[in-house]
Structure 1
Amino acid sequence: MKEYVSFRGREIRIDELLFFLAFVPYLIIGMLWTTMFPMPDFSHAIAKAFLIFSFASVFFKKHWNIQFLAVSFSLLLIGSLVWLATSDTGVIALALLIMGAYKIDARKIIKTYLLIVLLIMILAFFSSMIGIIPNLQYVRPGSGIVRNSFGIIYPTDFAAHVLFAYLFSAYLYFEKKPWLFSGLGVLLVAFLIKFSDARLDAITLFLAILLFLLIRFLKGKALHQAAQLAPFSTLLAFLVTYALTIFYNAKNGFLHLLDNVLSGRLHLGKRAIEKYGLKPFGQVIKFFGNGRSTKSVLHYNFVDSSYLKFAFVFGLIFILFFVLLMTLQAVTCLKRQDYYTLAVIVVISINSMIAHHLIEPYYNIFAILFLANFSFRQVPNAIEKQSALESHSHV
């Protein structure tokens, strides 16, 4: 089967071309939905329709290895069962993007993500400043602090875009320009606290700076030893989130204080578990949260934690499988001495304990990169070992 096509004198892999034909419109539409620009409801269907190209790209891959088959089959099966239980195709869409990204250079995908996300963020920011779309401003009760969303649907969603855009930019370029990205990161932390009062994203962004500095300047065995527990960050974050939520009791002084610090998230999570329970393949729940309007929500019930929210809507089986994928990817990163990718996984894992963007590619692009090509991050001896493993697993 033909693997390349000529375009303006260049040879382009057909599977790569088909993937980006799906990914680019899907990302643009998804990203626009996080802004205050008006979007028609049918655009969701258009975005998902483009994913047929991502599925088609699979048949132009040179090889399918065992990892690809296991991940793809499992996600498609889980996604189909979620669809039957809830009529939601979100997991199937995620599976198609993950399959399409197989063997494609992760840098190309991340650079495309950064180009689209940053352009739309800049457009939304300046549009909100000149009144084309609203800059929603919320006042935090008690302190009176004004929180700006700058053209995005909510201040924390704006902050999440800033966090992830910085995280993936630094992921690609921090090694060469550590002080530039450290300084930029500190400025962004200050900006998020001053103008959006987005504490979670400011803290995790600062954590990313510290981890990248540690990797950049701590070398050899010391770095490897410091990273030993990092592969289990997603699993630990998942378990801690559930333990704190399930055992939450307002009469417990520590848990009550922690719940106040987390703006009532433990209480909301515990109430949702008691009301809805956790189903294997999800359920239809109408979550009411803030966003798109400064009007107060009368029956607020939104569950922010990714580990909880996606367990409710897509089921416990899905979230367990996703946590497993992230953990296995992190273990592989440690073996490859790929500490930058490992740091990104740690930051995402911690942020997802409180925020709900874990599997949304227009925030967290790593959600679709489990099967992508990360060879640019591997040290030479790790590349040789990986090539040897892949040569035995092709089918």
Structure 2
Amino acid sequence: MNKEILDIKLRFPISETLKKKFPFIPEYLYLTGLFLYIASQLVQGTMIAYRLIPGSLAYHIQLLAIFIVIVKAVLFDDYSLKDWSILILLGIVLWSSGNNAVVLDIFYYYIFIVSAKGIDFKKIATLFFITITLGLIITFALAKTGLISGLTYTRPNGAMRYALGTIYPSDLAARCFCLMLAYALIKNFKLCVPEYIGMISVTIWVYVVTNTKVDLILMSLFIIVAIFYKKAVLALKLLTPRGIAIILGGTVAIIILMSYLYTPGNKVMLTINNALSGRLHLSHIAFDRYNVTPLGQYIEQHGFGGGTKAVLNYFYIDISYIRVLMMFGAIVFITMVLFLLYLSYSFMNSQAYSLEIVLIFVALSALVDQHMWELSFNIIFLATFANLQTFSIRRTDYTL
């Protein structure tokens, strides 16, 4: 097959006709699918799915959402035959890996990444912010009225933690942190004093309600970076894309090595483990019990989310990097790391510094939570093929 054939753009006559008459259709299809997926996944992370609606309903809505964005991509996105060959091959790898792990979140997220081509990323961030904010307000109201359980947990030191209708306090804290990132993106970090005060107030409220230390640190650090945004951009320029890539890659390598080599007798590791609420220890258990596979495996886990009953033999992999490596396999893990580095380089190359800062904070949060590849928490990866004109000082077209 020669190069001319591989470079042919796949277009359907009906697609061109529809696009000329109704140019808004591709964007509407994508945003509709994205809304349905984010909303249904949010419901799965609340007690609504445990008390008010069947859990299978949210899953079927997600399948409908995926179908809608696939239709958008096939009919309206001008990928070439070579592009589609690469995308489908990678999709097969991700599907196989997710099927082995019995978790298809990465594969579904990938479909939304591919289908986001040409969509204004600011509209994606706005849709995310509105959907999650309204969803949380509805969840809080349902918990307050007693229609769903609010769930209350107690730390060993006696500190109370409230989930307010979500399945666990740390999930609520993570959602609020992600909303803060999305809001900063919508405003492109052009924030005023009342907005900073609002972000500080939300951070304090989240800590008082959820008693989650790691999100308190992340949210506080993010507010500082937002306040000193121009200096943060200058720091990024001084680091250069290569320097940032080394730091990101090195951080991932360090957390993997520390988890693998963790011993409670090492005071430094023990201190870090305590700071991460025991996450190094739990990740080490994963390495101890399972081998790293090429394309993933099912790992039985028992967490506290969704109930108040005591959990015997608690075991849950919270660190996203360890989760991907152990559950989805070495091939997907390496692909994920390369993707992170590529996306960071792309943002820096197009001078989309606001996106780069959010990407770095997503990478940091992945050190402590498992939500990196859940669309109702993190949308930054959708910027891969999306329209970044709003964020880029110098516009760059993203191609395979």
Asked whether the two chains share a fold, i.e. TM above 0.5, the reply is yes
Distance 1:297 1:84 in 2: 26
Residue 173 of structure 1 and its aligned partner are, at CA, apart by: 1.3
Counterparts in 2 of 1:115 and 1:17: CA distance versus 1, 3 Å: same
Choose which of 115, 131, 135 in structure 2 pairs with 1:100: 115
Distance 1:46 1:35 in 2: 16
Q: Is the Cα–Cα contact under 8 Å of residues 185 and 206 in structure 1 kept in the other structure?
A: no
Q: Which letter maps to 2:268? A: F
Q: How does 1:270-309 map to 2 (within 5 A)?
A: 270-309=284-323
Distance 2:82 2:155 in 1: 47
- Name the SS for the 2:128 alignment partner: helix
Choose which of 20, 27, 30 in structure 1 pairs with 2:31: 20
Aligned to 2:187: 173
Q: Is the Cα–Cα contact under 8 Å of residues 132 and 179 in structure 2 kept in the other structure?
A: yes
Distance 2:238 2:34 in 1: 37
Residue 65 of structure 1 and its aligned partner are, at CA, apart by: 6.2
Aligned to 2:6: none
Distance 2:281 2:231 in 1: 41
Choose which of 216, 220, 226 in structure 2 pairs with 1:212: 226
Residue 33 of structure 1 and its aligned partner are, at CA, apart by: 0.8
Q: Is the Cα–Cα contact under 8 Å of residues 306 and 354 in structure 1 kept in the other structure?
A: yes
Q: Is the Cα–Cα contact under 8 Å of residues 224 and 337 in structure 1 kept in the other structure?
A: no
Aligned to 1:120: 135
Q: Is the Cα–Cα contact under 8 Å of residues 214 and 276 in structure 2 kept in the other structure?
A: no
Residue 105 of structure 1 and its aligned partner are, at CA, apart by: 0.9
Q: Which letter maps to 2:155? A: R
Aligned to 2:238: 225
Distance 1:233 1:71 in 2: 28
Residue 81 of structure 1 and its aligned partner are, at CA, apart by: 2.5
Q: Is 67-76 or 255-264 further displaced after alignment? A: 67-76
Any stretches of 5+ residues in structure 2 without a counterpart? 1-12
Q: Is the Cα–Cα contact under 8 Å of residues 121 and 387 in structure 2 kept in the other structure?
A: yes
Q: How does 1:228-243 map to 2 (within 5 A)?
A: 229-243=243-257
Residues 189-241 of structure 1: CA distance to partner in whole angstroms, max 9, x if unpaired? 2112222111111111112112222224667x666215654444542331121
Aligned to 1:318: 332
Choose which of 75, 90, 115 in structure 1 pairs with 2:90: 75
Q: How does 1:1-395 map to 2 (within 5 A)?
A: 1=13, 2-3=15-16, 5=18, 11-37=22-48, 38=51, 39-43=53-57, 44-64=59-79, 69=84, 72-83=87-98, 85-86=100-101, 88-141=103-156, 143-173=157-187, 175-216=189-230, 224-225=237-238, 229-379=243-393, 382-383=394-395, 386=396
Counterparts in 2 of 1:132 and 1:4: CA distance versus 1, 3 Å: farther
Output the aligned Cα RMSD: 2.6
Q: TM-score, normalised by structure 1?
A: 0.89
Q: Is the Cα–Cα contact under 8 Å of residues 288 and 302 in structure 1 kept in the other structure?
A: yes
Counterparts in 2 of 1:85 and 1:177: CA distance versus 1, 3 Å: closer
Residue 5 of structure 1 and its aligned partner are, at CA, apart by: 4.7
Q: Which letter maps to 1:255? A: M
